[in-house]
Chains A and B, each alone.
Chain A
Amino acid sequence: MHLLVCGGTGCRASSSDLIVDRLKAEIASNGLENDVQVIMTGCFGFCEKGPIVKVLPDNTFYTQVKPEDAAEIVREHALKGRKVTRLLYTDPVKKEHVSDSKHMGFYRKQIRIALRNCGFINPENIDEYIARDGYQALGKVLTEMDPQKTIDIIKKSGLRGRGGGGFPTGLKWEIASKNKADQKYVVCNADEGDPGAFMDRSVLEGDPHSVLEAMAICGYSIGASKGLIYIRAEYPLAIKRLKVAIDQAHEYGLLGNDIMGTGFNFDIELRYGAGAFVCGEETALIHSMEGLRGEPTNKPPFPAESGYLGKPTNVNNVETFANVAPIILKGAEWYTSIGTEKSKGTKVFALAGKINNVGLIEVPMGTTLREIIFEIGGGIRNGKKFKAVQTGGPSGGCLTEKHLDIPIDFDNLVAAGSMMGSGGMIVMDEDDCMVSVAKFYLDFTVDESCGKCTPCRVGNKRLSELLGKITDGNGELEDLERLRNLSNVIKDTALCGLGQTSPNPVLSTLDNFYDEYLSHVVDKKCKAGRCKSLMQYVIDPEACVGCTACARNCPVNAISGERKKPHEINTAICIKCGACIEKCKFDAISIK
């Protein structure tokens, strides 16, 4: 019997490492060491209900396990074969316990390619990766294929860059391979910076070898002997597991000199980023690795011609690499059988926001937003109404109800005014104000702008100020036109991809939620009740019994009134903190 315990950052934050210790101790005290193994794996994806413990071979899926539960799991399940019912997942609709993860709505629609080993193997043990066909793809290309043939398979598979742009990976490799140089580089972009995104982190934490193997395959294809992983320093667990993985691969001779006796040399080093958003842009990333300021430069020259230290460099995202080995082993035809016409394979999404099943999922391209949000994601929290979903991070846009049924792929999302981005998906409900959402993203861009080009540095600041003016209740009708014009100018003139896409949150909310902007500007109302300046707290004199609870708790003494008589709020002093609403036992205070 194997007990798999999630060792992703989310579950570890909820003491999953302590669960492992307790399970092991309990197993030892029952003398079951030979029969039951405890394995710490990568992310299962179902972060909403973490920490997860999965029992195999019977496929029992325990959720929200606490260290105190370890003894019961061992004594009941491992020893006596009785499932611990209270820890099983409860289907939110049927209200029934589901013990087998195969029957959970969350997993039913998923196809796991990039996440094939996440939540299945111990990421710190190369043997388990090898047992799952690990490094076979590298062996196959080194012994049976020449570089061009390898590139051809990737080209034929239709794999496109998973970092956001969707550039064909095979073509990228081919360009880098054709540029002659004494030294070339393979770079893995692990600078995941979109708010709410954790796809790459989970792959690196759960299956680091899949990225290392693919980088070596890429190195062979383009003629590079050096690989670099640019990873943000705030991913300590991913860094630790990468280091372990690189060391183990070296020990086995799967990295280093003369790999598998073929004469091919490849080495991988880590480079740490300080967490600047712009460093996810490939030219800025390369400059940061060179020790320069993380600022983008004009393309051309593309990194494939002149990249790291002026040498031809191929930069791919973590998830792109994670798809490579299965493509080599199973063939391009297999890969093209999954997905849509122009976007092949699967995509990993990080579900976040007001959704029941927050977590990490991998679905075939062409899955609809409705399937993702309502079937896999389990719908909106607390039975609220779905309002919008933000895809593509600060470069993407907000999609609405009317977009729920379009099949998701690179091109459809762009046509709908958003983009795939790296895979962050933030779900919003009726309580979210779309103007404030746009402002949130713009504030992020303003903070993260490197400042090199004027449209991004100054233009986004002005956009954010205009949005602030509107949420403060001082907006004019002309401001909406100004927002649109300025957005279009930034889009056309900014230097790098990040600047060019930064106005997308504004444009897409203007397109899809124009009435909400209007009500802010014309009626001075925020229907969602988010914009404090547009709200007024009022006491219903009918419902108020004069208990004085609100007046006693108001931090600015804005409420006055006699005992046992209706109270009043002085809106000039009120800071709209909401303390009075919380204290009122008679529901007499409301927001207008």
Chain B
Amino acid sequence: MTKVKSLADLKMMKDSLKSKISLREKGENSENLVQIKVAMATCGIASGAKVVMDFLLEELDKRGINSVVTQTGCMGYCYAEPTIEVKRPGQEPVVFGYVDTKKADEIIEKYIKNGELVDGIIPTNYETIDGEK
């Protein structure tokens, strides 16, 4: 175990440890963050959703994008798995299909960062009953 040798040391330590609990702090103001849901039902996982999820978690953190990544159930587009839903603050959610890590990278760079739409959007034709907020 390393000793804390100075206040600067402690601050560095804090910065490196921050990510451990940042997910919890984000819960407090999730409305203002990019929210991404990865469909992780059997179909999604079988098509590689877990890899995409891990990629998103890691890359968004690395690229300094404040976001909340959660898993969700089957969205119904089993033919297009893995699917992810991205909601930029104040905007309607957009669903992307056939997302592999390459696609995910493109979504981060173009849609999440700049709001540019990319190929692979699945038009949503349902409404959700979001009663409990």
Contact = CB atoms under 8 A, between A and B. Distances in A.
Contacts of B2: 252
Given A57-B70, A81-B71, A81-B72, A252 B24 contact: no
B27 A56 contact: yes
Contacts of B3: 251-253
A497 B7 CA distance: 41
Contacts of A230: none
A587 interface: no
B4 A4 contact: no
B17 A252 contact: no
A130 B1 contact: no
A81 B36 CA distance: 12
A82 B73 contact: yes
17 contacts: A4-B24, A56-B26, A57-B27, A79-B71, A80-B72, A80-B73, A85-B132, A100-B133, A128-B17, A130-B17, A131-B17, A134-B14, A136-B14, A254-B4, A260-B5, A260-B7, A260-B9
A482 interface: no
Interface in B1-60: 1-7, 9-11, 13-14, 17-18, 20-21, 23-24, 26-28, 30, 37, 40-41, 50, 53-54, 57
A121 B21 contact: yes
A353 interface: no
B76 to A, nearest CB: 13
A135 B4 contact: yes
B11 A136 contact: yes
Contacts of A81: 37, 40, 70-73
How many residues of B sit at the interface, in one of the four size bands? 35 or more
A142 B7 contact: yes
B23 A58 contact: no
B68 interface: yes
Main secondary structure of the interface of B (DSSP, over half): helix
A557 interface: no
A486 B37 CA distance: 70
B21 A128 contact: yes
A244 interface: no
Contacts of B132: 83, 85, 88, 96-100
A252 B71 contact: no
9 tightest A-B CB contacts, nearest first: A81-B72, A80-B73, A139-B7, A253-B3, A131-B17, A56-B27, A57-B27, A59-B27, A57-B68
A253 B7 CA distance: 12
Contacts of A97: 132
Nearest to A82: B73
A198 interface: no
Contacts of A100: 132-133
Nearest to B67: A57
B21 A261 contact: no
Interface residues of A, number: 46
B24 A135 contact: no
Contacts of B21: 120-121, 128, 131-132
Interface in A18-66: 31, 34-35, 56-59
Nearest to B74: A80
Contacts of B20: 127-128, 131
A2 interface: yes
B5 A56 contact: no
B73 A261 contact: no
A78 B10 CA distance: 34
Contact of B40 (A2, A57, A79, A261): A79
Interface of A: 1-2, 4, 31, 34-35, 56-59, 78-83, 85, 88, 96-100, 102-103, 120-121, 127-128, 130-136, 139-140, 142-143, 251-254, 260-261
Contacts of B4: 135, 252-254, 260
Contact of B24 (A35, A56, A143): A56
Given A100-B133, A130-B13, A133-B14, A80 B71 contact: yes
B18, B21, B41: residue with the most chain A Cβ atoms closer than 10 Å: B21
B13, B27, B68: residue with the most chain A Cβ atoms closer than 10 Å: B27
B71 A1 contact: yes
Nearest to A133: B14
Contacts of B30: 57-59
Contacts of A56: 23-24, 26-27
Contacts of A120: 21, 24
A57 B26 contact: yes
A44 to B, nearest CB: 13
A34 B24 contact: no
Nearest to B133: A100
A59, A80, A140: residue with the most chain B Cβ atoms closer than 10 Å: A80
A219 B57 CA distance: 43
Nearest to A79: B40
Contacts of A130: 10, 13-14, 17
Nearest to B17: A131
Nearest to A31: B50
Contacts of A2: 23-24
Contacts of A82: 72-73
Given A79-B71, A80-B71, A140 B7 contact: yes
